[in-house]
Amino acid sequence: MLEKKKINWLLLLLVGLSCWLWLGPQSVQAATQTAWVNDQAQVLSQRTADEIDQINQETFAQVKGHPQLAVITVDHLPDNQDIDDYGVAMFEKYQVGRRDWDNGLLLTVAIADHQYRLTVGYGLEAVIPDGSKSQIVTTKIKNELKNERYDAAIRQMSEKISRRVVTQEAAIRTPNAIKEKRQRDQRIKIGVIIGAILLAGLVVVGIIAYYRQKRRWQAFALSTLRDEQFLQRHPLVRFMPWPDQINMVKTTSLPSKLTDVQLLRLVFIPYLREHVSDILASNPVALEYPAADYQLAIKAVSDRPLYSAKTLTKIVALLNPKIRQIKPMMLRYQQAFEVYSQQNNLSAQRRQQLWPIFTANVDYFETVTVDEALALFANMDRYVDRNGKLQRPKNKADLMLLPVWWTTYNDTTFNSGSGSNGSNSFGSGFGGGSTGGGGFSGGW
């Protein structure tokens, strides 16, 4: 009796297992490869494949020119290709559509990449323009794709494409219309090419004229800089070494006029602004302040008084009032830096990293309080790494009260493979259509 019960339980178990295998949850089976479907990703059902076949063999058979719709699914795009490039490449490879009518449609869906592309033949551009994307790929279809119901989504897209082709049949271009449009496009293309050639010619002429003018400028500048009469009118130019003069002339922008003023403005004044402290320190002239202070003060002086000055004494007299104006701020910054260094036990190496960045960029003419100066050094210490390089701030809110030059320095620093090809039957019924004329793509 016991043995009989064991046999019954075993039979029930076998029956239950068989039912589960037969009736249990099943994934969508890969569609059989047909002339119109290449389901490499194995997401389409036979029902969807049959409907796409029916669209081509029955629905489109009643439409002018007999358009063709093909569908390709892949898991991943090969070699990380762009979906648009891949879709057009497949369209051209299989020549979807009928010859002369160019009326093919290729829906390409990359499942794992979450992208799709509808490539449209030249003759159907007016039927399915780029603007029809929202009507074909609706919100409902996007939700189907997001929920991994790819079979339903692709079937619905195919149905909407079919319906639009049928309702917009009048907009399908005939072979003659396609030929005429290609000829118009070709004429436009030729016109654009001719225009581009003319524009390129003008650019070449402009470049030649520019380099001729630049050679004139360089010849004028180099000869003038060595002219004794010019040097008598502007004796401070003698303090600029000849190699630096040559380099500035070659690298400076092209002036509008070849005059002494332009020569001074573009060549000598920039050098003077950068090297005035060295010039004053290495020549016999009475200085009221350390030579380095004059380097700071010259930032606040315009070009005109600088190239009007004839001697170093006049340069010093021009800059002394500016130094007197900024001296209180210089001392305030120095004292604040000493206080911050002591409070935070900055090493000599760290001080040597922070102070040069400060002195190279500070505007002493901008008034700040002691607290603002301390905040500046605290932020510099936070954002300049141990190698002396500025790091991008994680929170810019604490920079709002800092001097203008710090924000400028901050901004300048940071701105200076798919599956197998499937069945050989795919594409066997295509009519040798030409390249895709348009289409649209998207993702989910």
Q: Would you state the structure tokens that stand for residue 179, as one six-digit string?
A: 């030929």
Q: What is the mean pLDDT of residues 89-118?
A: 90
Tell me whether strands 37-39 and 68-74 are parallel, antiparallel or unpaired. Answer: parallel
Residues 120 and 68 in one domain: yes
CA distance 69 to 418: 21
> Which helix or strand (DSSP H or E) is residue 441 part of?
strand 436-443
Long-range CB pairs of 344-350 (<8 Å, 24+ gap) are: 344/381, 346/381, 350/381
Q: What percent of the chain has pLDDT over 90?
A: 51
The residue range of the domain holding 357 is 284-402
Q: How far is the CA of 93 from the CAs of 96, 119, 154, 264, in angstroms?
A: 8, 13, 22, 66
Q: What is the mean pLDDT of residues 22-38?
A: 60
Answer yes or no: is 386 within a domain: yes
pLDDT higher than 60, residue 399: no
Q: How confident is the model at residue 259 (pLDDT cuts 50, 70, 90)?
A: very high
pLDDT higher than 80, residue 167: yes
In this prediction, residue 395 carries a pLDDT of 63
Residues 429 and 358 in one domain: no
Residues 321 and 436 in one domain: no
CA distance 427 to 288: 91
Residue 29 DSSP label:
P
Q: What percent of the chain has pLDDT over 70?
A: 83
Q: How do residues 116-127 score in pLDDT, each as one tens digit?
A: 999 998 889 889
* CA quadruple 96, 97, 100, 101: dihedral sign: negative
Q: How far is the CA of 302 from the CAs of 292, 298, 305, 318, in angstroms?
A: 19, 8, 6, 11
Residues 388 and 429 in one domain: no
Q: Would you state the structure tokens that stand for residue 333, as one six-digit string?
A: 């910054």
DSSP assignment of 104-124, as one string?
Answer: EEEEEEETTTTEEEEEEEGGG
Structural domain count, the chain: 2
Amino acid at 217: W
The beta-strand segments (E) located in 48-194 are 68-74, 104-110, 115-121
Residues 395 and 429 in one domain: no
Residues 349 and 430 in one domain: no
Q: Would you state the structure tokens that stand for residue 233, as one six-digit string?
A: 């009118």
Q: How do residues 311-365 score in pLDDT, each as one tens digit?
A: 999 999 999 999 999 899 889 999 999 999 999 999 999 998 888 888 877 888 8
Q: For the CA atoms of the chain, what is the radius of gyration?
A: 39
In the β-sheet with 115-121, what is the strand arrangement from edge to edge? 37-39, 68-74, 104-110, 115-121, 436-443
Answer yes or no: is 260 within a domain: no
Task: Annotate 168-191 with b (16+ C-beta within 10 A) or e (fewer).
Answer: beeebbeeeebeebeeeeeeeeee
Residues 164 and 291 in one domain: no
In this prediction, residue 397 carries a pLDDT of 59
What is the model's pTM?
A: 0.47
Q: How many CB atoms lie within 10 A of CB 371?
A: 10
Answer yes or no: is 140 within a domain: yes
Q: How far is the CA of 408 from the CAs of 150, 389, 399, in angstroms?
A: 52, 16, 11
Answer yes or no: is 389 within a domain: yes
In this prediction, residue 153 carries a pLDDT of 95
pLDDT higher than 80, residue 8: no
Which CATH number is 138's domain given? 3.10.310.50
Given a contact cutoff of 8 angstroms between Cβ atoms, the answer to whether 366 and 405 are in contact is yes
Answer yes or no: is 407 within a domain: no
Residues 436 and 345 in one domain: no
Better-predicted residue by pLDDT, 391 or 372 = 372
